[in-house]
Chain A
């Protein structure tokens, strides 16, 4: 059987950010089924639709750059896949590109995030980012204390409309991943902010050389 690796790029905006990764998986499977796209199923005793996400997104995060990989069993124009899938997606999910994958997930090195905090916090943030950020990080071997500051890069920091906006580049990928919420929660704890009020928007996924991951 023909198998055409296909990468679907989409946005996840608004209330749909409250859907977990596991639930996104099921949602996409059903959307693909409704779109009646010729997708490849794993073979074997209990066949299921082949679907992987190169880099899962945390619950509560919005994103302008999400990806899922599927396999098509026949050639189909990219625009048609995009249209048929978009017709089946709930509000907040929007496919903006469909293309053959150019890179493997292991090449993911960084993600950029736009982070918004209520109130004026830029001075505190500057101070916070000037020191090591030691957090408890879950690894396969248990919980350990790590300084994540070397894995973060502040791209911009500004205040507007009673909000503090910062742009942060975080080490990311299937092997080593620093979630920006680790840093922000440590910040909130130290300066007495309310962590759940922070907005996260993933804006880019990049390789080690700063190229767009595709």
Chain B
């Protein structure tokens, strides 16, 4: 069988074969010879098709790359286990969807690192592509393996596998990298050495790390002219940034199968646990006219029946109400639904509720994150109980009957009282519903309490904090369950073992590369799917490498400790993070950016004041 026949053979024997066929509407086909393709890029999302096809960043970069006449960017997703089995049996290497070509034949293999639990999948995809896992083992015959995305802010656990990381927003940086490749071609050392001079590019092999006896870092030393500190890139004028007018329309239902409109980047809120809230700073917005134009173009080119406004906090968009008015002026006529995730509880105005309700009534989600005001002050989630109740009242009177509440356990300074506060808050929302004269007739209320476990993340004020142990998290989950007495409240929680491993990787260093490699050799992948996550294998592989999970996850860091991501600069300064950490321990909240600048330092990237 030849390569194409092998693909065909496999497709006949797997579930959901359309995951692997390509050929979707708006997917881009080029001809390497006829079109003079100089850079063939395999854009890999280390998860299943349905997950990867939901990701906006990939859509943006896919279109951006393919606008370049001599660049062809294709998509690659992790095959499900039945397909992996077929591919192994057929010796069929991992291939890209558009051409079916093996990824080992590309110029670049690019990964987006969206969550820590995808790391073993990244390695498995390289292995399936017959690409040597470690950068040091690759030569001129192999593609460059590059990576970006939020997890690139502490890339060290995967530093041995990735040739270079792109920090921050990729729209400009990726094109600069393409330009460099046109000059150097596959000459590895030259390309990497020169790439390290592009702002935002981190080449891990050009940095030597030394550890002390206690296991912490002694030093990080750049070589061959690589910068001491690599500063992440941002797009200054967001309103003018490239935005695709077409999305690939998946054949099979993606998790988010709709048009997505990125309305702003960054966040003014400064919730102290939230990595996204710091690494995407400073805040930049798009204008209503731009957004409305892009939304219309997308719906016309895809036929999507839903548009989602995405950002970290959509209600912080200055022009949200004018945008809603513009969108509603055609979406109702064209039978397109609008969805607005990420609305803040404290600026959920009645007129906004009315506008959303005009489109569709579904559930309502709030994220108080902590059960008491004291702890909400610690984490800087500036929401008061009064705001929670008044938002719920507005929503109930507007016809909503289902409320979903997001909380976290294991937050710094948490006590039993804070845990009680979670259930107490949910119960009082139930009580509020039944006391309302204007409540929806003939319907009960349902309050879902979803509890995740706090994972300390780099570039947050909590990057110094110890994470709760798995045992403590489990006890807290059980305790919460024992407190619930109403059938109107349902409790869901995250797997504590997963949070623990996320805790190890999030603040991990290069020594974890060996652990990831060992897990990959044991056939571990797609760990983001809980049934494929094996905590006992993690334990085993950590032990084999002589590494302590507690050292990474459950240890408090001194403010002075050299952190594994110490060579990276995401705008927010160390001084600011220390100050915010101290404020947290005093349970003092920090006003949001529009009220008062907290001096985080990110506006340096903008070259001016944020507002």
A-side residues, CB < 8 A to B, are 15-16, 18-20, 22-23, 26-27, 29-34, 41, 46-49, 59-60, 88, 90-92, 196-197
Contact = CB atoms under 8 A, between A and B. Distances in A.
Contacts of B252: 19-20, 23
B303 interface: yes
6 contacts: A20-B18, A23-B251, A23-B252, A34-B303, A59-B17, A88-B303
A47 B335 contact: yes
Interface in B14-55: 16-18, 21, 23-25
Contacts of A30: 25, 249, 302-305
Given A22-B253, A27-B249, A91-B23, 5 more contacts: A16-B23, A18-B21, A20-B252, A30-B303, A34-B303
Which DSSP category, helix, strand, loop or mixed, fits chain B's interface?
loop
Given A16-B23, A20-B252, A196 B303 contact: no
B522 interface: no
Contact of A41 (B249, B302, B335): B335
Contact of B18 (A23, A33, A49): A23
A59 B24 CA distance: 17
Interface string B271-312: 000000000000000000000000000011111110000000
Contact of A49 (B17, B253, B335): B335
B252 to A, nearest CB: 5
Contacts of B305: 29-30, 33
B485 interface: no
B13 interface: yes
Contact of A19 (B251, B257, B299): B251
Interface residues of B, number: 26
Contacts of B56: none
A15 B23 contact: yes
A34 B247 CA distance: 13
Contacts, number: 64
A15 B21 contact: yes
Interface in B306-343: 334-335
Contacts of A88: 25, 303
A16 B17 CA distance: 10
B255 to A, nearest CB: 14
B12 A19 contact: no
A30 B251 CA distance: 11
B11 interface: yes
B251 A31 contact: no
Contacts of B16: 20
A92 B24 CA distance: 11
B360 interface: yes
A20 B15 CA distance: 11
Best-surrounded residue of A22, A26, A88 (most CB of chain B within 10 A): A26
Contacts of A32: 303
B12 A60 contact: yes
Contact of A46 (B17, B24, B360): B360
Given A30-B302, A47-B335, A91-B23, A196 B251 contact: no
A62 to B, nearest CB: 13
Interface in B490-524: none
A76 B21 CA distance: 35
B12 A33 contact: no
B601 to A, nearest CB: 45
Interface string B78-115: 00000000000000000000000000000000000000
A90 B24 contact: yes
A181 to B, nearest CB: 12
A34 B12 contact: no
